[in-house]
Structure 1
Amino acid sequence: MTGLTTHILDLTLGLPASNVTIELYFQEESSTEWTPLKTAVTNEDGRLDSPFLSEKELKAGSYELVFHIGSYFRSKNINLPNPPFLDKIPVRCNIVDIPGHYHVPLLVSPWGYQVYRGS
C-alpha cells in the first residue's frame, strides 16, 4: 500500500483498536490554518479499509491526524476519569518525499501513547 496509512494498537487490551474516529488535516506552507481533508473510522484490525490518502492524493506539506481515543476507551467500559486523561491525540508530521508510503502507527493506552513512522 502507498500513500498515507495508519494503524492503532490498544496496549491495555492487547488488541487492535477498532471503531476509532480519526480526522486528517493539511496545512499549506504559507498558511497557519489547518484544512480538514477526511474523517475515517478504524476497522476490526485497527486499520482503515483504504489509505487515508492515496499516493496520487498525497502532496508535500504538514499533516495532522487526530485520534479520538477517549471515546474508544469509554466504549470499552474502562474506568476513566471524566474527562479522560487522553481524549483526542493530535499527531503532526511532515511529508516531503513524493511518491512514497507514510505509515503512522499509534500504540495507545488510557494513560499514554507512542507514535512513529512505520513501514
Structure 2
Amino acid sequence: MSKSSALSTHVLDTARGRPAAGVAVELWRMEPAPALVTRATTNADGRTDAPLLDAASFQPGRYELRFAVGAYFGEGFLDQVVLNVGLRAGEGHYHVPLLCSPWSYSTYRGS
C-alpha cells in the first residue's frame, strides 16, 4: 500500500538554540520550468502553519525550498539557503528541517 505524500519544514536557529521564527520560505517546482508554488513564514515554533504541499496538491518532481536566513539573522555569511529536493509519490510525508546559523546549515529528511 502506498502512502500519501506531503511536504513540510521547520527551521532551527542553532546559534541561539531555539526555533527560528519569522523566516520567509518559498517552495518552487522546478519542472517543466521554475514556478513558485507557495510562500510561508515560520511561526514561533519555527514551523510553517500549514504544509508547503498537502496530500491533495502533491505532485512528484524536483522542487526547491528557499529559506531567507540572511534577513532572519541580519548579518553573517549566508543570505538564502536553497535546497533542491526530489519528491516521489507514495513515499509518505516529506519533512525537511533546516538547522542554521549565520555561517552554516545542515538538513535531512525527517519524519
Q: TM-score, normalised by structure 1?
A: 0.85
Instruction: State how far apart, in whole Å, the 2-side matches of 1:55 and 1:66 are.
Output: 21
Q: How many residues align?
A: 107
For residue 56 of structure 1, report the CA deviation from its aligned partner: 1.1
Structure 1 equivalent of residue 73 of structure 2: 73
- Listed one character per residue, the Cα deviations across residues 26-62 of structure 1 (whole Å, up to 9, x for unaligned) are 022xx3x311111000000000111011011111100
Once residues 85 and 10 of structure 1 are traced to their aligned partners in structure 2, the CA distance between those partners, rounded to angstroms, is 14
Q: Deviations over 1:3-42 (max 9, x none)?
A: 11001000010000000000110022xx3x3111110000
Q: Which residue of 1 aligns with 2:80?
A: 88
Q: Distance in 2 between matches of 1:17 and 1:98?
A: 30
From the CA coordinates, give the structure whose radius of gyration is larger: 1
Could you tell me which runs of 5 or more consecutive residues in structure 2 were left unpaired when the two chains were aligned: none
Structure 1, unmatched stretches of 5+, are 75-79
- Output the TM-score relative to the length of structure 2: 0.91
- The ranges of structure 1 where at least 4 consecutive aligned residues each deviate by more than 3 angstroms after the TM superposition are none
Percent identity among equivalent residues?
Answer: 45
Residue 71 of structure 1 aligns to a residue whose secondary structure is helix
